[in-house]
């Protein structure tokens, strides 16, 4: 195992003062980083996509776990520190300079891959929606292990019946399993963000028969767009939705947050048929 200098030393030597505009809050505790890298299970020899390696804390934990890592980073200042990691783990790390929102991850990886990432909030949510959206299933990624603000993580794993349950929960749960893997205190980051964080882990499930992802997304957008209203009101603008509700026996007086993920799936299936 490569003997590496402490992350604080790397940050000081390469002048990596955290940039607010790039959402940089670094994790420096190597034990915590090793625990995060272990969430998806044994990574030895596996292909991993890491978005936003920064000074490389999580990256080195992944490399020590034996993963073959492709890391996308848009802050050029981090590249020399990451080049040192490439040298310490020959043939195990490939660093791509760029914006992860603009790159084709599947083409870049060219094989099934696990995703691990500690990203700024806005980028994380945008990528999450992209990884979980689309008609093609299963996707090329095999699992997602991602840091979010705790409040967002709670919305992803939420169950029906509460105000946290909405589009993100349906998106994350209708053909995959999402769980809260670890809560991370704000003091674990340098500099500490204002809010608590949490890591969500997503594993692939089966795609239900006869359901279009696009239709399901349209339904949840309408239903949760007016979440305080009854479905007969909120789904008025989706052609055929009220008939589909009746056909599968869902009371149109219910509100969106009382429907389970499976009921949304049945509704999308009925609407599409």
Q: Which residues bind ligand SAM (CB under 6 A)?
A: 22-27, 51-54, 57-58, 72-75, 78, 99-101, 118-120, 123
Nearer to ligand SAM, 10 or 47 (CB): 10
Nearer to ligand SAM, 120 or 272 (CB): 120
For the CB of residue 11, give the shortest distance to ligand SAM in the complex, in Å. 9
CA angle 46, 38, 201 (to 5 degrees): 90
Nearest residue to ligand SAM, by Cβ distance, number only: 52
Nearer to ligand SAM, 63 or 158 (CB): 63
For the CB of residue 148, give the shortest distance to ligand SAM in the complex, in Å. 11
For the CB of residue 74, give the shortest distance to ligand SAM in the complex, in Å. 4
For the CB of residue 183, give the shortest distance to ligand SAM in the complex, in Å. 16
Nearer to ligand SAM, 24 or 173 (CB): 24
For the CB of residue 47, give the shortest distance to ligand SAM in the complex, in Å. 18
Nearer to ligand SAM, 34 or 252 (CB): 34
């Amino acid at each position: 195992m490569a003997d590496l200098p402490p992350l604080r030393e790397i940050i000081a030597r390469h002048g990596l003062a955290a940039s607010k505009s790039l959402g940089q809050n670094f994790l420096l505790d190597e034990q915590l980083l090793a625990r995060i890298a272990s969430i998806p299970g044994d990574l030895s020899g596996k292909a991993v996509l890491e978005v936003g390696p920064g000074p490389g804390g999580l990256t080195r934990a992944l490399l020590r776990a034996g993963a073959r890592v492709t890391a996308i980073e848009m802050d050029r200042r981090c590249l020399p520190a990451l080049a040192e990691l490439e040298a310490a783990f020959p043939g195990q790390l490939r660093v791509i300079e760029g914006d992860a929102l603009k790159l084709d991850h599947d083409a870049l990886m060219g094989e099934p891959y696990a995703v691990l990432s500690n990203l700024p909030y806005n980028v994380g949510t945008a990528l999450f929606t992209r990884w979980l959206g689309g008609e093609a299933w299963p996707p090329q990624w095999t699992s997602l292990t991602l840091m979010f603000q705790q409040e967002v993580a709670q919305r992803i794993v939420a169950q029906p019946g509460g105000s946290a349950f909405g589009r993100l929960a349906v998106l994350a749960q209708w053909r995959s399993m999402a769980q809260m893997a670890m809560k991370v205190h704000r003091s674990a980051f340098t500099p500490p963000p204002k809010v608590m964080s949490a890591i969500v882990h997503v594993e692939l499930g089966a795609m239900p028969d006869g359901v279009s992802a696009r239709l399901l997304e349209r339904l949840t957008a309408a239903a949760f767009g007016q979440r305080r209203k009854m479905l007969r009101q909120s789904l008025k603008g989706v052609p055929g939705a009220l008939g589909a509700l009746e056909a599968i026996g869902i009371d149109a007086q219910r509100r969106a947050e009382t429907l389970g993920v499976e009921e949304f799936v049945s509704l999308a299936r009925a609407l599409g048929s």
